[in-house]
Amino acid sequence: MKHVKMMMAAIALSIAAAGPSALSAAEQQLNPKAISITLPDQFQWKRNEAAGNETAVLYGDPDKPGFYVLMFKWLPGHMSRPHWHPHDRMITVFKGTWWVGTGDKFDPDSTVPLPVGSYVTHFWQENSLGRR
Sequence-separated (6 or more) residues with CB below 8 Å from residue 28: none
Where residue 126 falls among pLDDT bands split at 50, 70, 90?
Answer: low
What are the E-state strand segments in the chain? 5-9, 46-48, 53-59, 69-74, 89-100, 112-114, 119-122
User: What pLDDT shows up at residue 4?
Assistant: 35
Q: Which is it for the CA torsion 114, 111, 132, 49, positive or negative?
A: negative
List pLDDT tens digits, range 25-59: 656 789 989 999 999 999 999 999 989 999 999 99
